[in-house]
């Protein structure tokens, strides 16, 4: 392990996070320019956090010195894994220094602040804050930082890091491959800094468009920015307790649906749409869109959204949960897209829906969006590869001499992907089961004391949804963790476990798991 390179890069990352916090400072001052007592507390809290980031970043840079050498696989894993943990710790400082309260009279502990910060950066959207609209609990500038962490983590703080720095050389590709979600890393081009810049340009462009649209639809500038961050990063942090349901606007909800679908799409497709490969597509927009529609994963992504929406709609109509068919269709579509893209915005408390609908949403939490998007979950492409792998293995059982290559569309894929996908599914299943049983063991039954049904049964289901919601970066779960509730009632040990699951899910397991292996830190 090249410790100097590790310290140098982590130091630069600390400085980047501190610089990002400065964008929250102006929100402490209203139009009149005089900050209230609570906003002043938020202002100086963020200022103290920026100072801490600067001091830590400077010390790490000094320890790193003039580090020489190439960023290899081991260093890339360490930078990404430790970098995200470090981002979570530094991102928690504004909450702590501003004395943000979890609820009235209940200050946030370090684990509460760490949970909220990691939830923001990993675009999970799970929260321990109960009174978002009370400025005495959460200053406006800290609220902005809370939502802005979504936007930073959506495309990836390491991808931004690579885009801003030009001296990483081949190490930039290693860093990108550990953070860009999805099993197909061939989209990372040799000139990796140009790729990172292109992805961030598209991300910033869509963010700007959505922010303007929200403002035209009646949101304040502050609300449009915060909800744009949550939508484009598929995060889900809102400035209101009722989330997207606060606006009670079909137009705003459908705008969110459209942009959530875009955010769950592989950003490489947007890049190819704007910058098609040479060969006659440059002047033919129709053919450009045909290339995009020809992507197997994207078609499967849209089909899944359509089928689940239809199933939820039929169930809501049959159970007569809503008096209007249009209302049922509206909430079925919004909830499906919100869960599928792992955004987590809510318009209705789906925990009150039928067992079929809740079960379907629990399964949908594991699916996620496309590889190379801001969405979490297992990813559509892995399910396609897993299904094809099973089909090949079944055929081999009765045709052992037939050789079938793994294909997506017309493209033949490396055989190693079959192994990688099976290993990933195995790890996800193992992690889910172990975490579910552990969370169910360490959480006391008191949180379910007011349950109208069986406490044990509801606790078992709610803990399963808590693990699924955090591991797949969804946010809300079922029961006591539904869209109308939050994670504030969980124990400190439970919050620590769920925080670890958020990091594991966002970085797709390996960049965090390797940190627990002693052999990883040895020089040989």
pTM recorded for the entire structure: 0.91
Contact 160, 152 (CB under 8 A): yes
Supply the DSSP string of 6-24, one letter for each residue: HHHHHHHHHHHHHHHHGGG
Q: What is the pLDDT of residues 177-217, one digit of tens each?
A: 655 655 554 444 546 667 777 888 899 999 999 999 999 99
**Residues with pLDDT less than 50, the chain:** 32, 167, 185-188, 190, 280-281
Nearest to 358 by CA among 478, 236, 483, 485: 478
Closest-CA residue to 502 (of 461, 463, 474) = 474
3-state secondary structure of 361: helix
Task: Using alpha carbons, select from 301, 306, 308, 442 the residue that is nearest to residue 362.
Answer: 308
Other Cβ atoms less than 10 A from the Cβ of 177: the count is 15
pLDDT score of 161: 61
Q: What pLDDT was estimated at residue 150?
A: 95
The pLDDT value given to residue 418: 85
Tokens of 433: 């089961």
Instruction: Number of helices (H) and strands (E) in the chain: give both, helices first.
Output: 20, 4
Return the pLDDT at 156. Answer: 76
513 token code pair: 């798991």
Closest CA to 42 of 118, 125, 136: 136
Residue 188 is predicted with a pLDDT of 45
Phi and psi of 424, rounded to 5°? -65, -45
Buried b or exposed e, range 388-397, using 16+ CB within 10 angstroms: bbeebeeeee
Element (H, E) at 81: helix 73-97
Query: Distances in Å between the alpha carbon of 340 and those of 114, 304, 378, 411, 472?
Result: 26, 9, 11, 26, 10
Interatomic CA distance for residues 76 and 247, integer angstroms: 43
Residues 4/64, Cβ–Cβ less than 8 Å:
yes
User: Between 157-164 and 3-21, two packed helices, what is the crossing angle to 10 degrees?
Assistant: 100
Alpha-carbon distance 299 to 313, whole Å? 21
Helix (H) or strand (E) holding 382: helix 380-398
């Amino acid at each position: 392990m090249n410790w100097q390179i590790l310290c140098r890069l982590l130091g630069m990352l600390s400085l980047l996070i501190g610089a990002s916090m400065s964008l929250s400072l102006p929100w402490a001052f209203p139009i009149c320019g005089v900050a209230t007592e609570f906003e002043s507390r938020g202002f100086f809290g963020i200022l103290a956090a920026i100072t801490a980031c600067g001091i830590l970043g400077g010390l790490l840079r000094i320890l790193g010195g003039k580090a020489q050498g190439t960023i290899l696989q081991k260093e890339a894993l360490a930078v990404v894994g430790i970098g995200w943990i470090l981002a979570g710790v530094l991102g928690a400082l504004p909450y702590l220094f501003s004395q943000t309260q979890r609820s009235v009279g209940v200050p946030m502990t370090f684990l509460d602040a760490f949970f909220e910060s990691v939830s923001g950066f990993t675009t999970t959207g799970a929260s321990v804050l109960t009174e978002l609209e009370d400025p005495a609990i959460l200053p406006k500038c800290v609220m902005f930082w809370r939502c802005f962490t979504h936007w930073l983590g959506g495309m990836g703080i390491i991808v931004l890091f690579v885009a801003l720095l030009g001296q990483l050389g081949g190490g930039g590709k290693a860093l990108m491959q550990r953070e860009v979600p999805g099993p197909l890393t061939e989209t990372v081009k040799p000139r990796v800094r140009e790729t990172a810049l292109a992805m961030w340009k598209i991300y910033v462009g869509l963010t700007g468009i959505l922010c303007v649209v929200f403002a035209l639809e009646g949101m304040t500038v502050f609300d449009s920015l915060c909800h744009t961050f949550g939508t484009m990063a598929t995060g889900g942090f809102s400035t209101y307790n009722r989330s997207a349901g606060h606006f009670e606007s079909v137009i705003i909800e459908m705008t969110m649906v459209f942009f959530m679908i875009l955010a769950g799409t592989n950003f490489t497709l947007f890049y190819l749409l704007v910058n098609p490969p040479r060969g006659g597509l440059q002047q033919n927009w129709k053919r450009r869109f045909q290339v995009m529609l020809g992507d197997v994963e994207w078609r499967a992504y849209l089909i899944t959204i359509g089928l689940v929406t239809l199933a939820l709609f039929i169930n809501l109509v049959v159970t007569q949960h809503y008096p209007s068919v249009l209302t049922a269709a509206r909430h079925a579509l919004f909830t499906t897209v919100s869960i599928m893209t792992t955004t987590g915005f809510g318009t209705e408390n789906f925990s009150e829906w039928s067992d079929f609908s809740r079960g379907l949403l629990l399964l949908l939490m594991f699916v996620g969006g496309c590889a190379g998007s801001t969405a979490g979950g297992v990813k559509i492409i892995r399910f396609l590869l897993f299904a094809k792998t099973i089909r090949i293995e079944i055929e081999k059982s009765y045709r052992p001499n037939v050789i079938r290559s793994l294909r997506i569309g017309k493209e033949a894929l490396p055989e190693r992907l079959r192994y990688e996908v099976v290993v990933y599914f195995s790890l996800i299943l193992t992690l889910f089961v172990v975490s579910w049983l552990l969370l169910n063991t360490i959480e006391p039954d008191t949180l379910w004391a007011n349950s109208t049904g069986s406490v044990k049964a509801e606790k078992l289901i709610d803990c399963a949804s808590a693990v699924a919601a955090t591991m797949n970066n969804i946010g809300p779960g079922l029961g006591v963790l539904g869209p109308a509730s939050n994670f504030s009632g969980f124990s400190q040990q439970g919050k620590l476990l769920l925080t670890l699951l958020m990091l594991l899910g966002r970085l797709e397991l390996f960049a965090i798991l390797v940190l627990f292996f002693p052999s990883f830190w040895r020089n040989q």
